[in-house]
Structure 1
Amino acid sequence: MGVIGAYVFVSATFTIPDAPARAAVADGFAPYFSQRWNVFAPKILRVNSAMQMQVQWRDDDGELVTGDWIGVTDMEFAAVRGIPAPSRVSKNSVNALGAYLERYDEVSEQQQERVQDTFIQRDDDGGFEAIPDEDLLAELDELGDDPDAVVSLIRYDYMLTRYLTVFGEAYYDRPIERVRWQAQYDRPNDFLHRFDDERQFPLSTTTFGWRQAQAPDDPSLIAVFDEVQDRYAGEDRS
């Protein structure tokens, strides 16, 4: 009975508007009897991130052609709107971009600026090639003091390069020579402005420079992405 009586007393203290004992009781029992709305979503996302990509290829005359920016995340989400339990494949770019940005945030500002630049250099024959791994790592290590964070970022950078190479080759149906991507950040209007037509916060982007394309070891991967993109974009696919 004593436990029940104590529980009723504390509960009443929190619910009666002007209870004299409320302040004293709150200090000791608030962690157990009160909650905030974010208990249902402790890490509410204020900004939506989306991946966009751009590729380059050679035409029949050997000239370098640059494609338009492709909204990879927009294509994925277009295929699952209104579906309560979508396939995991519809979040490929969101998951990949999120993992990449986590690693990007762990390096110094100088290293971040370098990562936003190209990873391509001139070769001895006057063409272009990827900067060798050891040279790239050495250059980045000079700009910060956490080599492990650099290695983690560059490994995922290579993964994104391979992923977007396959995505680009399936999309354009031609060999891709270079790829680059950008993260687009979209912060929705605050709750009080949720019905406003005017955007409260402008879109912003972070662009990561050109990488030498990484052709897939297994050509059948392109066929897989080709099928997925047909499902993503349908008749709107170029």
Structure 2
Amino acid sequence: MAESTDPPPVRRPWSTPARVVLGVAGALLTGATGLFLGAVFLHVAPANSLSREYREQVDGLIYPEFEQNWKLFAPNPLQQNIAVDARVRTESPDGEARIHEWVGLTARDIAAIRGNPAPSHADQNLLRRAWDFYDGSHSAQDESTTNPRGRLAEEYLKRIAVQRIGPSVDGRPVVAVELRATSTTVAPPAWSEEAAPAAPKVRELPWWPVKAGDLRGLR
């Protein structure tokens, strides 16, 4: 077999500006990743002088999208199954209002997870964590806020509900949304001597108006 007479391929070296750009981009990505992981660690770690000093900055990065429902060295597993439902109120062009049926948001997530070998993080945790965020910042008696993040929790939960249902139903624009949560205590195992769990508790939230800003970025 005759040997090829083609010249070997010439590797084009990276120019100095390209090397600088790649180096700076890599350093920025590495630094940003390190800062994010450090903030998550401070969020889940036991309270210390560093986490107290930078609490505002850490909370601003973590909440609401990256909140963790566990503490380092002290995990707190859930003991209740919570099902979140939503319904909307729409209006026709002539001002006629209509309240639609409840939609099982949690039921939809469970249906997407069941039988799926690789369920998405959103289906598993987005709605559940949004409810935990709301529940931890509101009074169960009158739904008043109990900390400065309460309003943010309301907006976050409302946006998820409107995103799941859509900006309109039957061609009528959504003008308000209401949510409810049904909490069912996990039953003890058959061999346990614990008492049977109490009946499920239903917590119904007030109607929240849906404004143009709530629909921004939603399809």
TM-score w.r.t. length of structure 2? 0.55
2:158 equivalent among 141, 151, 161: 161
CA distance, structure 2, for counterparts of residue 201 and residue 217 of structure 1: 37
Q: Which residue of 2 aligns with 1:229?
A: none
Q: How many residues align?
A: 141
1:88 shift after superposition = 1.1
1:73 shift after superposition = 0.9
CA distance, structure 2, for counterparts of residue 97 and residue 157 of structure 1: 9
1:61-76 alignment, distance < 5 Å: 61-76=94-109
Taking a change above 3 Å as real, the CA distance of residues 115 and 201 of structure 1, as seen in their structure-2 partners, is closer
Structure 2 residue identity aligned to 1:95? R
Q: Which residue of 1 aligns with 2:182?
A: 184
| 2:98 match: secondary structure | strand
Q: Which residue of 2 aligns with 1:92?
A: 126
Structure 1 residue identity aligned to 2:204? T
Contact 2:127/2:160 (8 A) holds in 1: no
2:202 equivalent among 201, 205, 210: 205
| 2:147 match: secondary structure | helix
CA distance, structure 1, for counterparts of residue 202 and residue 215 of structure 2: 33
Q: Which residue of 1 aligns with 2:141?
A: 113
1:204 shift after superposition = 1.2
Structure 1 residue identity aligned to 2:85? Q
Segments of structure 2 that go 5 or more residues without pairing to the other structure are 1-73
1:170 shift after superposition = 5.1
Contact 1:52/1:73 (8 A) holds in 2: yes
Structure 1 residue identity aligned to 2:132? G
Residue 58, structure 1, aligned to residue 86, structure 2? no
TM-score w.r.t. length of structure 1? 0.51
Instruction: Name whichever structure is richer in helix by fraction.
Output: 1
Larger relative contact order, structure 1 or 2 (CA cutoff 8 Å, min sep 6)? 1
CA distance, structure 1, for counterparts of residue 105 and residue 168 of structure 2: 10
Segments of structure 1 that go 5 or more residues without pairing to the other structure are 1-40, 117-139, 141-148, 223-238
Contact 2:168/2:174 (8 A) holds in 1: no
1:7-46 alignment, distance < 5 Å: 42-46=75-79
Taking a change above 3 Å as real, the CA distance of residues 86 and 185 of structure 1, as seen in their structure-2 partners, is same
1:221 shift after superposition = 2.1
Query: Which stretch of the first structure deviates more once superposed, 154-163 or 48-57?
Result: 154-163
Give me the CA root mean square deviation: 2.9
Q: Which residue of 2 aligns with 1:136?
A: none
* Dislocated runs of 4+, deviation >6 Å: none
Structure 1 residue identity aligned to 2:142? R
1:61 shift after superposition = 4.3
1:216 shift after superposition = 4.8
